[in-house]
């Protein structure tokens, strides 16, 4: 079944659900799913609409044009996502393989509706993983501390491959402001701590030193402010005094894997809307 998901947000006011659903109903669409959220404190309305494309009588261009008119009148921010336009994602990794493997394996098992045209790394170490699954692997190292030209090469690869979404699967480099802006709300990172605790480097060592009884991981959109992007998903695992930093790291891997996978799934299923640094993640 082909479908389209509309993600909508606007100032909250009376009659929104009825007006928006009527717009599509009057055009003959079947609404497969309709989810809403009202942020009362900020008087903000969020909607996720999934429409069956089967009975569509117009072109997509015309549908979008008409909805754009409707949206303009009603001051809606919106985006439309068609199920038959498969997202093309690039995985960026460095040396650790667990998140990279996890994404590839879930993708192979059909959990992620996307294509993976390439894997990019600043190190050659993970080439073998790409080879096992016959995926293109590009090693783009930073040479002579020239971060700028490394990022340029990466951006070129992304552009040439028509990449829609970047997944930082333990990519241990900080992206520049310029880079981030080019893929705003389209870069998902996994941070190996329960943010906002233990920002920055070596979170497992910091967690050990503080003696916390649980460790966590956080998947978030990358913004110019490091570790401050909108949080998509988090989870934790219980630890105790017997776990040294090395064991915390190993326990943490399982959380990282699962948290990143859930975030990527939510993104690919078009269930996330961002507003004021926070995410609405429909279930």
Applying CB under 8 A, which residues contact its own copies? 14-19, 21-22, 24-25, 30-41, 97-98, 101, 105, 109, 111, 132-133, 194-198, 209-214, 216, 230-236, 238, 240-242, 244, 250, 253-254, 258, 277-281, 283
CB 62 to its own copies: min, Å: 20
Could you say which of 102, 227, 244, 254 is catalytic? 227
Closest to its own copies by CB, 136 vs 141, is: 136
What 8-state DSSP symbol labels residue 230? P
Q: How far is the CB of 87 from its own copies (least distance, A)?
A: 19
Place of tokens 């080439």: 127
Nearer to its own copies, 160 or 278 (CB): 278
Instruction: Annotate 158-209 with three-state secondary structure.
Output: HHHCCCCEEEECCCCCCCCHHHHHHCCCCEEEEECCCCCCCCCCCHHHHHHH
CA 52 centroid distance within chain = 24
Cβ density class 138-151: b for 16+ within 10 Å, e for less:
bebeeeeeebeebb
**Packing angle, helices 245-268 and 98-108, rounded to 10:** 30
C-beta closer to its own copies: residue 149 or 250: 250
d(C-alpha 259, C-alpha 220), whole Å: 10
36 or 176: whose CB is closer to its own copies? Answer: 36
Q: DSSP class of residue 15?
A: T
Nearest to 235 by CA among 211, 212, 213, 219: 219
Torsion of CA 167, 168, 174, 176, to 10 degrees: -10
Q: How far is the CB of 58 from its own copies (least distance, A)?
A: 17
227 as an active site residue: the answer is: yes
Q: Which is nearer to its own copies, 165 or 271 (CB)?
A: 271
CB of 5 to its own copies, least distance (A): 15
What angle (nearest 5°) sits at the alpha carbon of residue 144, between those of residues 142 and 146? 60
Q: How far is the CB of 43 from its own copies (least distance, A)?
A: 13
Which residues are designated catalytic?
Answer: 227
């Amino acid at each position: 079944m082909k479908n389209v998901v509309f993600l909508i947000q606007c100032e909250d006011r009376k009659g929104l659900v009825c007006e928006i659903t009527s717009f599509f109903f009057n055009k003959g669409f079947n609404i497969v799913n309709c989810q809403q959220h009202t942020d009362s404190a900020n008087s903000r309305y969020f909607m996720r609409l999934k429409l069956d494309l089967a009975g569509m009588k117009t072109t997509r261009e015309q549908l979008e044009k008409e909805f754009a008119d409707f949206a303009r009148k009603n001051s809606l921010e919106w985006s439309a996502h068609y199920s038959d336009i498969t997202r093309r994602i690039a995985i960026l990794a460095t040396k650790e393989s667990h998140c990279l493997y996890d994404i590839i394996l879930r993708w192979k098992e059909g959990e992620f509706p996307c294509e993976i045209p390439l894997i990019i790394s600043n190190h050659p170490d993970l080439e073998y993983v790409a080879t096992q699954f016959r995926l293109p692997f590009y090693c783009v190292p930073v040479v002579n501390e020239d971060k700028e030209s490394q990022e340029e090469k990466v951006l070129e690869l992304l552009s040439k491959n028509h990449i829609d979404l970047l997944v930082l699967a333990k990519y241990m480099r900080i992206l520049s402001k310029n880079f981030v802006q080019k893929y705003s709300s389209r870069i998902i990172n996994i941070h190996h701590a329960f943010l906002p605790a233990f920002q920055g480097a070596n979170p497992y060592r910091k967690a050990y030193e503080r003696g916390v009884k649980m460790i966590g991981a956080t998947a978030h959109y990358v913004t110019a402010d490091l570790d401050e992007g909108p949080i998509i998903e988090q989870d934790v695992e219980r630890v105790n005094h017997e776990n040294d930093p090395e064991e915390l790291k190993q326990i943490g891997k399982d959380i990282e894997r699962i948290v990143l996978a859930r975030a990527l799934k939510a993104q690919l299923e078009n269930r996330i809307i961002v507003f004021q640094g926070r995410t609405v993640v429909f279930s």
